[in-house]
Amino acid sequence: MKKEVKKVVLAYSGGLDTSIILKWLQDEYGCEVVTFTADIGQGEEVEPARAKALKLGIKPENIFVDDLKEEFVRDYVYPMFRANAIYEGEYLLGTSIARPLIAKRRVEIAKITGADGVSHGATGKEMIRFALRWATWVKMQHSPSLHRGGSGT
C-alpha cells in the first residue's frame, strides 16, 4: 500500500528543471512543497530562487535558503584537496562534491518541517548522489547502531 505524500522538501535551484518539478509535485501529488536552496558560494543565484519559489506559490515559511559555505569548505572542499580528488586527471570535483552536503541538509529540513518525502531536479550521476544520501539516512533511522555511529556488531 502506497503512503500518501503530504509534504515534500525539494532541493530547489530556481532553474527550469526544479521549477517544473515543483509545479508537478503540487499538481500531481497535491502536496505541500518546501524548497531548499543551498548557498555554497555561487553568489547572486540564491535570492532569485527564493523569489521564484514565492511566485510559484510556496509559503515564505516553506522556503529555506541556507548559507552552507563554511561547512562546505571545511568538511568537503579541504578534504577533497587533501585527497587530490581530480576527475579524470584534469579538473577538480566542483559541483558534484556539494551534492552530499545538499542532500544532508535537505533531510534535516525534512525532519524540521515534518515532511514525509524529498525530491530533487537532478539527472544522471547527480540523481544517484542524492538517492544514495537518502537511502543512507533511511537506513540510519531503522538501525540504532548506525544512528549512533556504531559498527552494528
d(CA 99, CA 126): 7
Among 94-98, 100-104, 108-112, 140-144, name the most confident range. Answer: 108-112
Q: Are strands 86-87 and 32-39 parallel, antiparallel or unpaired?
A: unpaired
d(CA 87, CA 90): 6
Q: How confident is the model at residue 120 (pLDDT cuts 50, 70, 90)?
A: confident
Give Rg (Cα) of the chain: 16
Instruction: Calculate the alpha carbon distances from 54 to 7, 33, 51, 85 in Å.
Output: 17, 11, 5, 38
Q: Using one digit for the tens of pLDDT, what is the confidence trace for 3-31?
A: 788 899 999 999 888 898 899 899 988 99
Residue 123 has pLDDT above 80, yes or no: no
Q: Using one digit for the tens of pLDDT, what is the confidence trace for 16-69?
A: 888 988 998 999 889 999 999 999 988 788 899 999 999 999 999 999 999 999
Q: How confident is the model at residue 124 (pLDDT cuts 50, 70, 90)?
A: low
pTM: 0.74
Domain spans in the chain, listed from the N-terminal domain onward: 7-69+99-144
Q: Provide the pLDDT for residue 2.
A: 60
What is the CATH number that goes with domain 7-69+99-144?
3.40.50.620
Contacts of 37 (CB under 8 A, 6+ apart): 12, 13, 14, 46, 49, 50, 53, 63, 64, 65, 66
| Higher per-residue confidence, 123 vs 107 | 107
Mean pLDDT of the chain: 80
CA–centroid distance for 25 within its chain: 16
Residue showing cell 521564484: 52
Residue 151 has pLDDT above 80, yes or no: no
Residue 82 has pLDDT above 80, yes or no: yes
Q: How confident is the model at residue 147 (pLDDT cuts 50, 70, 90)?
A: very low
Length of the chain: 153
Residue showing cell 538517492: 131
